Amino acid sequence: MASKTKKVYVSYNQLHDIIQQTVRRTKLCEKFSPTLLIAISAGGFLPARILRNILKGELGGKSLPIQTIGLCLYESERNEIYKTQWIATDLVNDPLAVSFSGQRILIIDEVDETRTTLSYAVSELEKDIAKQRAASSQEWVEPKLGVFVVHNKSVPKLGKLPDGIMADSYFCGENVGGEWIVYPWDALDIDEHTRLAASGMKARELTLPSDEND
């Protein structure tokens, strides 16, 4: 009989604490100082909003813009990904387009499991950056990309992030195993979810990522 995947419950309070502690522990503002947040739908929505508020306090009251991208993973042998929502990037024809020049762009998701979605998001943004750079008639300042995840699962990765991001722009709240993480937005009974999260936190130990660049 196949064993059931262990569930780990995370409450709203725990999520907030993890994000706040990660910002401070990794010295995110000092090392990266983001100017644009990009939330991956839908798991990145709440972490991005919490992160923005925390960064606002750390950056002296400066509020950061949040953009959203939607990606759908079609699980097959090819693990194909489709865009369901994307950022407007055509600066010539779209008045709502976002300029990447000089931006420090932080891509946010709740969990890094196979890394397929994150690697696709970074790759597609790099293509858009290249298009803007080629079409720019003004002085171009090369942007920087970073990634923020609440949890990184210690499982084999199918996707790959650029070495530059992994070296100094990958910010992770907690490393976990292959357990099933149940976030508060997945709950039907939030009180029961919070109770399970509180009892689970007492029963388990999570390994914090080592920050070798500190």
Q: Is residue 2 part of a domain?
A: no
Q: Count how many domains the chain has.
A: 1
Between strands 66-74 and 36-41, the pairing is parallel
Q: Is residue 212 part of a domain?
A: no
Q: Is residue 213 part of a domain?
A: no
Tokens found for residue 147: 């990634």
Whether 36 contacts 106, CB under 8 Å: yes
Half-sphere exposure of residue 172, counting CA atoms within 13 Å on the CB side? 23
Q: Is residue 163 part of a domain?
A: yes
Q: Is residue 184 part of a domain?
A: yes
Report the Cα 106 to chain-centroid distance in Å. Answer: 7
Q: Is residue 63 part of a domain?
A: yes
2: amino acid identity, one letter: A
Instruction: Determine the pLDDT at residue 153.
Output: 97
Percent of the chain predicted with pLDDT > 90: 83
Q: What is the pLDDT of residues 69-96, one digit of tens each?
A: 999 987 666 668 999 999 999 999 999 9
Q: Is residue 209 part of a domain?
A: no
**CATH number of the structural domain spanning residue 109:** 3.40.50.2020
Q: What is the pLDDT of residues 102-153, one digit of tens each?
A: 999 999 999 999 999 999 999 999 999 999 999 998 899 999 999 999 999 9
Q: Is residue 88 part of a domain?
A: yes
How far, CA to CA in Å, does 175 sit from each of 115, 134, 179, 208? 14, 39, 11, 6
* Residue 182 domain boundaries: 7-202
Distance CA 148, CA 106 (A): 7
Residue 33 scores a pLDDT above 90:
yes
